[in-house]
């Protein structure tokens, strides 16, 4: 830690819910039949998101930084750029020098963008993610205020829940559209083989059957039955996909909500004693040097 300000940590623990939905269960029963007739009815993955990647995403970090947070230091809600004073005149002088040195390369970069990048880098150092073998994910936030740290940690947990729910809804809708298109194709193919069988029966009544005609009739009947099986299964699959689209299933369990820490994690008493000894020793050496 390079800051001299007190820091507090707060954590939230979440457990992702991973389960195969009914679409995948039913789908496995017909994939072989469908593929033999040139149909690829696709597959949905039970785990389509890796939560640590969401937490470490630039999108989430920008959302947190631009969010207005309640603070005991300020009278009104404030974003993290202003909270850390990243854009005030004193801190910003170095940025102005850099922009002047590289004016041609940085002419399109505004001051707010630079401040945002600084905030992202700083916040990246203030977040820790651990994942157990059991799948339990622990998110630790370190901030200058205990309640602010817990507020951000709880915000991340809710963000993950909403983000995954929305993405799953989009995925289910796309899958339902995909199944519907396959269903329409299957219906047309079924009609084609049914028409072939009907034309064959009209042209060759069963009373006039020869061994060759019986063989052809049996082949056409098998085609109709196979395509009918695919169509009926896809129809059932389409109804399941519609239900999946409407169903609201939990995506994560929040096991431990973040709470404000009672004690600060930085600086510790041991650190203060250590730095006090170092500073005292240096001051003593300097004093002796000046004295003699």
- This prediction has a pTM of 0.71
94-128 burial, b if ≥16 CB within 10 A, otherwise e? ebeeebeeeeeeeeeeeeeebbbebbbeebeebbe
What's the confidence (pLDDT) of residue 269?
44
For the chain, helix (H) and strand (E) counts, in that order, are: 11, 4
E strand or H helix at 36, and its extent? helix 31-36
Residue 290 has pLDDT above 80, yes or no: no
Residue 229 has pLDDT above 70, yes or no: yes
The DSSP call for residue 15 is E
What's the confidence (pLDDT) of residue 266?
64
Mean pLDDT in residue range 220-226: 96
Mean pLDDT in residue range 171-188: 94
Question: Comparing 49 with 270, which gets the higher pLDDT?
Answer: 49
What's the confidence (pLDDT) of residue 104?
52
> Which residue in the block uniquely carries the two structure tokens 């830690």?
1
E strand or H helix at 147, and its extent? helix 146-203
What's the confidence (pLDDT) of residue 126?
96
42-88: per-residue pLDDT in tens? Answer: 555 455 689 999 999 999 999 999 999 999 999 999 999 999 999 87
67-77 burial, b if ≥16 CB within 10 A, otherwise e? eebebeeeeee
87-122: per-residue pLDDT in tens? Answer: 876 655 555 555 555 555 555 556 788 999 999 999
The DSSP call for residue 58 is H
What's the confidence (pLDDT) of residue 288?
67
Tokens of 136: 């339990």
What's the confidence (pLDDT) of residue 14?
96
């Amino acid at each position: 830690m390079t800051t001299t300000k007190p820091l507090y940590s707060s954590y939230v623990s979440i457990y992702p819910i991973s389960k195969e939905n009914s679409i995948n269960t039913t789908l496995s029963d017909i994939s072989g039949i469908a593929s033999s007739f040139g149909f690829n009815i696709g597959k949905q993955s039970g785990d389509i998101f890796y939560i640590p990647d969401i937490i470490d995403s630039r999108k989430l970090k920008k959302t947190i930084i631009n969010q207005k947070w309640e603070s005991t230091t300020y009278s009104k809600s404030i974003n993290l750029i202003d909270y850390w004073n990243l854009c005030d005149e004193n801190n910003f002088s170095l940025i102005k020098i850099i922009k002047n040195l590289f004016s041609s390369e940085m002419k399109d970069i505004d001051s707010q963008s630079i401040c945002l990048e600084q905030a992202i880098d700083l916040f990246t150092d203030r977040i820790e993610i651990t994942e157990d073998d059991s799948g339990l994910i622990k998110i630790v936030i370190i901030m200058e205020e205990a309640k602010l740290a817990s507020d951000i940690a709880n915000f991340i947990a809710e963000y993950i829940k909403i983000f995954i729910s929305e993405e799953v809804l989009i995925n289910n809708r796309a899958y339902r559209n995909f199944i519907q298109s396959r269903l329409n194709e299957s219906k047309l193919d079924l009609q084609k083989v049914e028409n072939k069988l009907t034309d064959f029966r009209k042209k060759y009544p069963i009373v006039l059957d020869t061994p060759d005609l019986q063989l052809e009739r049996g082949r056409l009947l098998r085609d109709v039955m196979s395509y009918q099986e695919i169509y009926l299964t896809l129809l059932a699959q389409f109804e399941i996909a519609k239900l999946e689209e409407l169903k609201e299933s939990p995506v994560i369990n929040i096991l431990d909500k973040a709470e404000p820490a009672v004690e600060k994690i930085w600086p510790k008493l041991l650190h203060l004693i250590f730095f006090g000894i170092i500073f005292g020793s240096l001051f003593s050496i300097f004093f002796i040097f000046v004295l003699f």
